[in-house]
Each structure stands twice: as C-alpha cells, then as structure tokens.
Amino acid sequence: MMDFKRILIVFFWVFGVVNIFLTVQLIRANTEASRANTAVSVLTEMANDNIKFTNPSTASSMGSYLSGQVNSNYLQSQMNLIDGKKKFDSATGTLSVTYEQPQKFGTTQTTVKRSISKYLKNEAKVLSGTQYRFDKQFSSMTKPDSHGHYSLVYSQRMTGRQVVMGTAGQIRFTFDKQNRLVRYAQTYIGNVEVLRDAVEVISGADALKDLYQYNELPNNSTVKWTKLAYTALITVKADTIFVPTWVVAVVDANGDVSILRVNAIDGSVLK
C-alpha cells in the first residue's frame, strides 16, 4: 500500500513538472510569435512610408557581452617582425605600414581579394592576419582618394563567425590604380574575454522595427544593408565592453548615409 502511494506521489510530481514546463514553452512560443507578427506589421508600415529595404532576416542567433583591450601594446611590441616602413600611433593604437615599392596584388579587385587572403596568413606581412575577415559592408562605403587610391576593409573576428565593426579591430588596405598595395593601417583588440553566457539576440527584422518605432528611419530613405556584428559599448579603465549589435546603413532622400546601431541583446538604440 505504501508503495502504491509513493508511486502516486511520484506520478503527480512528474506530471506537475511536465505541465509547468509545457506551459512555460507555450507562453514563450506565443511571445515569440507575437513579436514576429509585430515586426512584420511594422515592416509593412515602413513600406507604406516609402522606406525601401530588402526583407531582413527573422532568424534568431546567440551572442554575449565581451571585453577586450583596444589599445594594447601587442602591435607595437611585434611590429619589428613585419616588412615595410612602420609607424605606431600610441594615441589610437594604430600600426601604419607603408611600402616604398608598391606590392603587386592582381589586375582586378577580385584577384586582389584572393591575394589578400594569402597575405593575411603571412606573419612577416601582417600581425595576426588570420583573425581578420573581409568586411564587404564597410569596404563598399570607402571612396577613392584624389590619387585614385581605393581601400578594402578587413574586420577582426571576435568570437564564432561574428566580427567587430568600427575603427578598433580593423585593417584598411590601400591600393593604387594598378591594384598594387601602397600601405595599410591596422588596429587590434587583445585579451578578448566572454563576460557572460550567450543569450538569444533579436533578429534583423526586430532591429529595423525598433529603429522605425524610435523614429530613426526617415521617410523616403533606403536601408542599404544590415549586419550583426560586435561594436564598442563602453570603456572601463583599460577594457572596452563589446555588445552584439545590428549595424544598419541608411541612405536618406538627399543621398546622405547614416550608420545606426541597435543593441541585439536588449533592442535599445545605441548612440
């Protein structure tokens, strides 16, 4: 008899736990569905205001706060190992490398990018080059200078597949009209650490919804591109805190480009 009562108690306990679990999952599913429906509704309103955009991703991903040292002495301490004429700016943490004889890289930008991939693997050419990835979005925003020199931007990978976007953790290669490497400028983020466990971050659709609801997207504008990356949030002593961010490029009716940022963890607009 005691065994039967004990079985009943265990049964009801398990039933209760399962019921609570299913209820929580149902609430979460309904909340996510509601959020998705709201984002879709706002995107429709954006289209009505003549805000042009490519349908953003509604998929979620994971991210966490990171810390790193933007102006570490790594580049300065190692720069004698690489070729070229070198100069280090301690105020900005920028290593500049110039070549008296421009380096041949290819005949087109496509072949140049393939050559850079090999160049980044050579520690005699670029310090920790394998940590950097081609930044299509930032590269597209650079314009040739008065000499016809153009730049390709590479951003440092922070964790997983995500890179940092900004002047920190970046290499800017400059080429002449013959697609020869003239110089490059590099910044580096050292001692990167994860500050907390990864959490689910908002989607690109949610980020556009937040920007629109905070009146950051003017009528008759165009969302040129959106990208999930890490950006600097705040600096505390020697460390900079980085947060997963939806970075959005917007072109207004006058052709002016603005870069907007949305904290991908809490959905707040970053200034």
Pairing of strands 66-69, 239-251: antiparallel
Q: What is the pTM of this model?
A: 0.82
Torsion of Cα atoms, 13 then 14 then 20 then 25, to 10°: 170
What long-range pairs does 211-215 form, CB within 8 A, spacing at least 24?
211/248, 211/260, 211/262, 211/269, 212/42, 212/45, 212/46, 212/51, 213/42, 214/269
Tell me the pLDDT band of 43, cut-offs 50, 70 and 90.
confident
Tell me the per-residue pLDDT of 47-58, one tens digit each, with 9 for 90 and over. 888 999 988 888
CA atoms within 13 A on the CB side of 33: 6
* d(C-alpha 252, C-alpha 250), whole Å: 6
Question: Average pLDDT of 21-41?
Answer: 48
Could you give phi then psi for residue 60, rounded to 5 degrees?
A: -100, 160
Mark out the alpha helices in 54-194 (DSSP H runs): 74-78, 109-119, 136-140
Tell me the per-residue pLDDT of 85-143, one tens digit each, with 9 for 90 and over. 999 999 899 999 999 999 998 888 889 999 999 999 999 999 999 999 999 999 988 88
Tell me the per-residue pLDDT of 207-248, one tens digit each, with 9 for 90 and over. 999 999 999 999 999 999 999 999 999 998 889 999 999 999
Mark out the alpha helices in 70-135 (DSSP H runs): 74-78, 109-119
Tell me the per-residue pLDDT of 253-271, one tens digit each, with 9 for 90 and over. 999 999 999 999 999 999 8
pLDDT at 1 over 80: no
Token pair belonging to 16 = 């209760």
Exposed, middle or buried: residue 41 (CB in 10 Å: 0-12, 13-18, 19+)? exposed
Other C-beta atoms closer than 10 Å to the C-beta of 252 total 14
Is 40 within 8 Å of 205 (Cβ atoms)?
Answer: yes
